[in-house]
Structure 1
Amino acid sequence: MRPAAEEEPSTGDTAGGLSGARSELRRRIRERRRLRLGILVLVSVVLLGALPLYFGIRTLSRDPVFDTLDELDVPGWAAVQTVDNVSGNRWCLQDCRLRERTVQSERSPEETARAYEAALGREGWQRWQVDLCPQQPDKGSYTCWRQDELTLDLWVRAPSCLPPPVDGAPAVPPSPLASAPAAPAPAGCAGSLVSMKVRNAIDDDRTRPQPSTDPSLTGEDPFPTLTEDPLGEPTPTPTPSPS
C-alpha cells in the first residue's frame, strides 16, 4: 500500500502545467519578435538618416563646380597633377566664392590650350569676348568663357622653370636687366601649366556696364589750364614827376 505523500498528480495539475509552459513559450517568442522588429526599425532609421547626412556633408565640403571641371573630357597628358583652391563664401555673404584650379600638362601650351578649349565647348561653355580679358597682358593663351551663372578664365602658358643652382648656390630667377645670358632650364622643365578661375557672374565686374569717359558725362575740369594772363596787359610803372 502506497503512502499518502506519494499520491500521483491529478490530470488537472498536469494540464495546468502544460498550459503555463505554452504561455511562457509564446511570451518569449513575442518578445524576440519585438526585439527583432525594434532592431530592424533602428537600422532602417540609421540608414535613412545617415545617407542624406553623408551626401549633405559631401555637398557642403565639395564645391559642385569642381565636379563640373572634373567632367571636362581632356586627355590624360593634359591633367597630370591637379591642385584646387577655394576662397570666399558660397552664399556671397561677404565675398563671393572664387574657385581656382591649377593643372600640369605634359605637352606644349598650344596643344594643351586647344584640348581645354575643345573640352569646354563640348560641356556647354560659350566663348566670352569681353574687355579686361585678361586684365593685364600675359604670356601664353588667355581666354574667357561663360555658362549660366558662372564665368571662367582659362590661362595656359609655359611653366616657370628656375635655372639649376651654380656651385651650390640656391636657384634664383634671372633678372631681366642682367647682361649675361641666363642659365639653361633644367632638363625636366617641359610641358605647360593651366590655370582656371571660376566666379559667379554677379560677382564678376566684367558683367557690369563700365563707366563712360565721355567729357559730357564726367563734367568739366575743376582746374582749367590758363592760357592767357587773367589780368590782361601788365600795368606800366608810373614815371616820377619832375620836381
Structure 2
Amino acid sequence: MATDRRAGRASSRIAADLEQSGERIERLRMTVAVIAVLAVLLVAAVLWLGRAFTVDPTRRAADELTVPGWAAVTVHDETYGSRWCLGECRVRMRTWTSEGTVDDTANEYWQAVLNAGWIPADPEQCVGGLGEEGCYVRDELYLELWVVPVDCGDRYELCVGAEVTAVVAAQAALPRLAEERLAA
C-alpha cells in the first residue's frame, strides 16, 4: 500500500509538472503569435511611411498627367531644391516631346491637367512663359504648362511636333521662379 501511495504521489507530481509545462508552452505560443503579428504590422507601417516620405510630390504630380502616347514620345526631367523646402523648395521641370501639332498637344495636356484635379490659378500668380497654356494650383502645389513648336535644325526637313514643358513646384517656390524668369 505504501508503494501505491508513492506511485500515486509521483504520478500526481508528474501530472502537475506536465500541466505547468503545457501552460508555459501555451503562453510561449501566444507570445510568439503576438510578436509575429506586431512585427508584420510594424513592417507594413514602415513600408507605408517610407513610401510617403520617399515619393516626391512634384514627381507624383507630373506622373499623374496621363496623355496619349503620341503626345509624350520622350520625357526629360530636371529637378532642383529640397522637397521639404529646406533652403530652396523643390522645383521639377518635365519636358515631353509630342508628335502632334501644337494645338492638338495643348488640348491633350490641358485636358490631362484638369482631369488630374488641377484648377486654374489667379493670373497674378502665374509666372508666365513662352507659349504659355496656363498655370494651375492643387493643394500646396503649383503647375505651369506651356507648349511650343519643336525646334528643327534643318529648315528643309519636315518638322512637325511640339514640346511641352511643365514646371511643378511648391507654391512657396513661386517668388524664386518669378526671379528666375525676370533674370532670363
TM-score, reference length from structure 2: 0.74
SS of aligned partner of 1:113: helix
How far off its partner does 1:124 sit?
3.5
- AA at the equivalent of 1:199: A
Aligned counterpart, 2:137: 147
Given candidates 123, 126, 130, the residue that maps to 1:129 is: 123
Whether 1:22 and 2:15 are equivalent positions in the alignment is yes
CA contact (8 A) 2:121 2:137 kept: no
How far off its partner does 1:97 sit?
1.1
How far off its partner does 1:144 sit?
3.0
Cα distance in 2 for residues equivalent to 1:62 and 1:72: 16
CA contact (8 A) 1:125 1:146 kept: yes
Cα distance in 1 for residues equivalent to 2:107 and 2:84: 33
Aligned counterpart, 2:157: 184
Aligned counterpart, 2:168: 198
Mapping for residues 26-37 of structure 1, pairs under 5 Å = 26-37=19-30
CA contact (8 A) 1:133 1:143 kept: no
SS of aligned partner of 1:10: helix
Cα distance in 2 for residues equivalent to 1:120 and 1:96: 22
Give deviations 1:180-211, integer Å, cap 9, x for gaps.
xx4536xxx86443221112333213998xxx
More helix by share: 2
- AA at the equivalent of 2:27: R
**Which gives a bigger RCO, structure 1 or 2 (Cα 8 Å, sep 6+)?**
2
SS of aligned partner of 2:163: strand
Cα distance in 2 for residues equivalent to 1:34 and 1:200: 53
- AA at the equivalent of 1:133: G
Cα distance in 1 for residues equivalent to 2:53 and 2:122: 29
Aligned counterpart, 2:87: 94
How far off its partner does 1:113 sit?
0.9
Give deviations 1:123-150, integer Å, cap 9, x for gaps.
232155357511xxx4xx4223131543
More deviation in 100-109 or 53-62?
A: 100-109
Distance 1:10 1:60, change over 3 A: same
Aligned counterpart, 1:228: none
Cα distance in 2 for residues equivalent to 1:198 and 1:102: 11
More strand by share: 2
CA contact (8 A) 2:127 2:177 kept: no
Distance 1:80 1:34, change over 3 A: farther
Q: Percent identity?
A: 28
How far off its partner does 1:16 sit?
1.5
Whether 1:108 and 2:101 are equivalent positions in the alignment is yes
SS of aligned partner of 1:204: helix
Cα distance in 2 for residues equivalent to 1:11 and 1:202: 90
Distance 1:61 1:107, change over 3 A: same
Distance 1:206 1:21, change over 3 A: closer
Runs of 5+ unmatched residues, structure 1: 1-7, 162-172, 175-181, 209-243
CA contact (8 A) 2:62 2:168 kept: no
CA RMSD after TM alignment: 3.2
Cα distance in 1 for residues equivalent to 2:75 and 2:6: 84
